[in-house]
A and B are shown apart, each in its own frame.
Chain A
Amino acid sequence: MSKDKFQAPDYYLLDELLTEEHKLIRDSAREWVKREVSPIIEEACQKAEFPKHLLKGLASVGAFGPYIPVEYGGGGLDQISYGLIMQELERGDSGIRSTASVQSSLVMYPIYTYGSEEQRMKYLPKLATGEWMGCFGLTEPDHGSDPGGMTTNIKKQGDHYVLNGAKMWISNSPFADIAVVWAKDEEGIIRGLVVERGMKGFTTPETHNKWSLRASSTGELVFDNVIIPAENIFPNVKGLKGPLGCLNSARYGIAWGAIGAAMDCYDSALRYSKERIQFGRPIAGFQLTQKKLAEMITEITKAQLMVWRLGVLKNENRATPAQISMAKRNSVNTALQIAREARQIHGGMGITGEYPIMRHMMNLESVITYEGTHDIHLLITGMDITGENAFS
């Protein structure tokens, strides 16, 4: 890929809504992405290899549990800081952001929120430094948008439980040290538990031949009579609200992150349009190019405002799941449309690895599906405003 010349668009001077510390956190993550991610990400994607050497740096910039309290190894930062870090990581690549999202929102968040003090102290400090990596098992081969139908189960046997079942589309699973897994108990109640690598009967086969998130490692979780000590069960949550709480946090991060990808596509398209000469002048001078670019910056600005407001609400513990759904859906869809328009502006060059466009576009095809699909989020908004459930 050519040199990273990214300049962040801030059309409405939204930096003025951020504190100096927010900007320092954001700029540090941005600089780290320019220095460490941009030079290697294209090759990692082409080879479909997860750049594992970035884990230490991700921990260093605060990508692992920035809002987890300091006493557990987290950053003790606010939700806007978390959002800004996700934005910068996804500006680099959705796969890198996905790894951080999973670690923060789907592994550290449930251990902190639903776990015992012993579980917090055992896992969180090591997850914050990246010494241990985690993954999250909810989706099953036959249960994606309908997680309540899961068949993975635990059965009590003496002082421990026995876990059986399988999860798929699990980011980080092939190298994760632990997995936060959701399974039904004998009464059909969904429980959360921590499965550790090395437990007998636990395997994590990798998913190959993806056309999306190629720099992120995806796999399955297979449980064949895995013996789970009772102390690995989360004591403080029962039911679907457990995993949905995690997803709220992750979707919030995605709402910020996807804008990062959109910003990168817009920035690249704007620069290219000023440099690319056709019919004797830069293509930026043609009305159809300007329309594309003007629409892009308008949508980016709207989305930036939306996630900033969502961040303020989340800091006040007032952001509703439906509001988070709306922002996740809007940001990802905006980013995907912008990636497609930016690809057009880049012409043939847009399909090459010289520019980040096609990589973002392919990544976003996953992002628009995972953590609640585009359509499901629409139905969540629909249910919220009408009071009518259209899921079943």
Chain B
Amino acid sequence: MKILVCITQVPDTTTRISFTGNAFNAAGVQFIINPYDEIALTRALELKETLGGSVTAITVGKPDTEANLRKALAIGADDAIRVNADATDAYFVAAQIADVAKKNGYELVLAGKESIDYNGSEVGSMIAAMLDVPFVGMASRLVVEGEKVTLDREIEGGKEILESTLPLVASAQKGMAEPRIPNMRGIMSARTKPLQVLEPAAADALTAVISYEMPPAKAACKMVPADNPALLIELLHNEAKVI
């Protein structure tokens, strides 16, 4: 089975986020593979190990994203594709990945349920729409038997179990697989695995970020003596206005 895994890089979770003017300040920021994409990649590798086939990692980004593509190769992807363009918005990114998927006939396209920076949750479903194939988002389990694909999705108070067919686009959330740490053999073999750079297909970005705002600073903590519940109620009622 030919599997395409969408990889995006995001700031490390310990990064202090700051902006210079209206631009994200990337100086000194360490970028990592989006954790949900790592889950998708790991499940793709598991499927390849049991069913055979190949796993291709794809990203839309400039050369500075190649280190994380190499990491995807070190984790076990067979080859990688970088579409040489800034990832301007979800539509543009989806158009690039759909274009590659169409030309190469992938049976399964996997993405993370969202990137942990912009949290858009859009790219996967857009790719599916562009390819005119089914989409299942936020899957915590994905099993392939022949042409049949069974997926679990967490829903309020439980989970639903869905069935679909290949070709399919799905997005992964926690539970689908346990991300793997690259081992030394993988890192060594990643040196020589193919990493193809493609120029972007014609597509417009449909959205643009106008501005960024930091969340309001945390207010000072007000301590209420334990023996004065009346004061607590009064503050919750009149000041916080939550009761």
Chain A interfacial positions (CB closer than 8 Å to B): 7, 13, 15, 20-21, 23-25, 28, 31-32, 35, 60-62, 66, 70, 75-77
Contact = CB atoms under 8 A, between A and B. Distances in A.
A60 B183 contact: yes
A79 B112 CA distance: 36
Contacts of A24: 67, 70-71, 74, 182, 187, 190
Contact of B70 (A13, A20, A61): A20
Contacts of A75: 184, 188
A28 B181 contact: yes
Interface string B182-194: 1110011011000
A76 B70 CA distance: 18
| Interface majority SS (helix, strand, loop, mixed), chain B | helix
Interface in B153-198: 181-184, 187-188, 190-191
17 contacts: A7-B14, A15-B30, A24-B67, A24-B190, A25-B187, A28-B181, A28-B183, A28-B184, A35-B181, A60-B183, A60-B184, A61-B181, A61-B184, A62-B183, A66-B184, A75-B188, A77-B184
Contacts of A61: 181, 183-184
A21 B187 contact: yes
B229 interface: no
Given A20-B67, A21-B191, A61-B184, 14 more contacts: A7-B14, A13-B28, A20-B70, A24-B67, A25-B187, A28-B181, A28-B184, A28-B187, A32-B181, A61-B181, A62-B183, A62-B184, A62-B187, A66-B184
Nearest to A65: B184
B188 A76 contact: yes
A33 B184 CA distance: 14
Given A13-B28, A24-B71, A70 B188 contact: yes
Contacts of B71: 24
Interface in B11-67: 14, 28, 30, 66-67
Nearest to B66: A20
Contacts of B182: 24, 28
Interface in B184-236: 184, 187-188, 190-191
B14, B28, B70, B183 pick with most chain A CB within 10 angstroms: B183
Interface string B69-111: 0110010000000000000000000000000000000000000
Contacts of B188: 70, 75-77
Contacts of A32: 181
Given A7-B14, A20-B67, A25 B181 contact: no
A28 B74 CA distance: 10
A60 B183 CA distance: 5
A36 to B, nearest CB: 9
Contacts of B74: 24, 28
